[in-house]
Amino acid sequence: MNARSPAAPLDELDRRIINALQGGFPISDEPYREVADSLGTTEAELLARLQRMLDTKVLTRFGPMFQIERLGGRFVLAALAVPEARFAEVTAQVNALPEVAHNYRREHALNMWFVLATETPEGIAQAIARIEAATGLPVFAFPKLREFFVDMRLKA
Amino acid sequence: MNAPDDLDRRLVIATQAGLPLVPRPYDLLAEQLGVSPAEVKARLAAMLASGRIRRIGAVPNHYAIGYTANGMSVWDVDDAHIEALGQAIGRLDFVTHCYERPRRLPDWPYNLFAMVHAGDRATVQARVSEIAALLGPACRGHDVLFSTEILKKTGLRIGGDG
C-alpha cells in the first residue's frame, strides 16, 4: 500500500480493536476471549476481524514484538541513494533479503530507508555486503548510538 | 548480552510471523514446540518482563489507519547537548521513535532522528517546528524525509525459513 492509497474503510469496532491490541495482549488460556469481553464483542468476531485486517494489510502483523538486541542480535537503520530508473529493480534486490524487516521509500537523495534485523551482530555487515554486491550501490548504515524513546503505538 | 536459550529462540521463530489466531494460541504454540502451555506462558511473560519482547500486539499499517504523513525528522545537534535534548524530544507525545545515530559527513550531518506521524504534512511540519523551538541554538540544521511508499513491512525474520 502506498501513501496515495485511500485509507481502508474501518468501522468503530475495528478501530477499538486496533487501539486495544496495541496495548498489552493477555498471556492467558483464552486471551482473545478476554479481549473480546473487554470490547463487548465475541471471540469469534474478534478473530474474524483480526484475520480480515491482516489479509487486507490494515495490520501488518499481530504477535510478540521482539527486541532482537536483547536476544543477542541487532537492528540497524540503513539507506541507499537509488537512481530513479533502477528503483523497482533495487527494491526487489533489497527486499529479497530476509534480514530486511521494513523498507520505505522517502523523498530525499537517500530515497530508500530500511531496517536490517539479524540474529547476530556480524549478520549486519554480511547483509550490507550482500546488498552492496547485489545493487552495486553503497549502503549508508545508521546504527543507533542512543535510544531516547520508542513507542510505536498510534491511535486508530 | 547473553545468547538466547533454545526456547527463547524457538518462540521467536514460531511467532515472528504472528501469534496463532485460534482461541487457545499459547496451547497451540506449546504443542508445536513440545513443551507445556504453562511453560510457554511463563517464558513469554519472562521475555516481556526482561524487554526481550517489547509487547504482544498489533502493528497497524500507518497509512491504512489514517496517518498518511510520515516524516522522519533529522537534526544536526551539538554533541555536547544531545543527551538532554534527545530525552526532551523523546518525551514529546507525538514522537514515536527518537534515536541518536552517527553522522555520515559530508553528505549527512544529522545525528538525531525523531519520527513524526500525522494525518497531513502541514501537521507534521507544525510539529517539526515545535521540535526546532525546543532544540534552539544547539541545532545547526534539519530536514524532514517524508515516506511515500511502504516497500516492505514484514518485521523480524530469523531462522532461515523466510
What's the mean pLDDT in B56-66?
90
Q: How many Cβ pairs closer than 8 A exist between chain A and B? A: 278
- Could you tell me if A89 and A125 lie in one domain? yes
Residue A12 touches partner B, C-beta closer than 8 Å = no
Q: Within a domain: residue A49? A: yes
Q: Which residue from B60, B64, B66, B51 is spatially nearest to B120, judged by alpha carbons?
A: B66
The predicted complex's ipTM stands at 0.90
Do A114 and A75 share a structural domain? yes
Amino acid identity, position A63 = G
Which of A66, A74, A100 to mutate: most B Cβ within 10 Å?
A66
pLDDT (tens digit, 9 = 90+) per residue, A73-101?
A: 999 999 999 999 999 999 999 999 999 99
Q: Looking at the predicted structure, is the pLDDT value of residue B2 above 70? A: no
A4, A29, A61, A86, best to mutate vs chain B, most B CBs in 10 Å:
A61
Chain A residues inside the 8 Å CB shell of B146: 3, 106-107
In this structure, is residue A126 part of a structural domain? yes
Position A97 in a domain: yes
Where in chain B are all domains bearing CATH 3.30.70.920? Answer: 69-146
Residue A116 lies in a domain: yes
The model's pTM is: 0.88
Whether residue A108 lies inside any domain: the answer is: yes
Which residues are B114's β-sheet partners? Answer: B73, B98
* Residue A25 is assigned to a structural domain of this protein: yes
The full DSSP string for A120-138 is STHHHHHHHHHHHHHH-SP
- Rounded mean pLDDT, A143-149: 92
In this model, does residue B55 exceed pLDDT 90? yes
List Cβ neighbours of B41 (8 Å cut-off, separation of 6 or more). A27, A28, B26
Query: Is pLDDT above 70 for B131?
Result: yes
Q: Are residues A87 and A43 in the same domain?
A: no
Q: Distance of alpha carbon B144 from its chain centroid, rounded?
A: 18
Integer-rounded Cα Rg, in Å, for chain A is 19
pLDDT band at B162 (very low <50, low <70, confident <90, very high): very low
Q: Which residues span the domain enclosing A96?
A: 68-143
Percent of chain B at pLDDT > 70 equals 96
Give the count of domains, chain A: 2
Q: Look at the alpha carbons of B78, B83, B84, B90 in this order and tell me if their dihedral is positive or negative.
A: positive
Q: Is the confidence at residue A115, as pLDDT, over 50?
A: yes
Beta bridge partners of B146: B71
Distance CA A91, CA B152 (A): 9
Please indicate, yes or no, whether residues A137 and A83 belong to a single structural domain of this protein.
yes
Q: Are residues A86 and A20 in the same domain?
A: no
Residue that is written with C-alpha cell 530486511 in the block: A100
The pLDDT value recorded for residue A2 is 47
pLDDT of B3 reads: 53
User: The domain that contains A72 carries what CATH number?
Assistant: 3.30.70.3460
B residues 47-106 lying closer than 8 A (beta carbon) to A:
47-48, 50-68, 70, 72, 82-83, 86-87, 89-91, 95-102, 104
Q: What's the CATH number of domain B69-146, 3.40.50.720, 3.30.465.10, 3.50.50.60, 3.30.70.920?
A: 3.30.70.920
Tell me whether residues B147 and A143 touch, CB distance under 8 A.
no
Task: State the smallest CA–CA distance between residue B122 and chain A in angstroms.
Answer: 15
Contact criterion met (CB < 8 Å) for B44 and A118:
no
My answer on whether A72 and A137 are in the same domain is yes
The answer to whether residue A37 scores a pLDDT higher than 80 is yes
| Higher per-residue confidence, B75 vs A154 | B75
**Cis omega before residue B37 (within 30°)?**
no
Residue A74 is assigned to a structural domain of this protein = yes
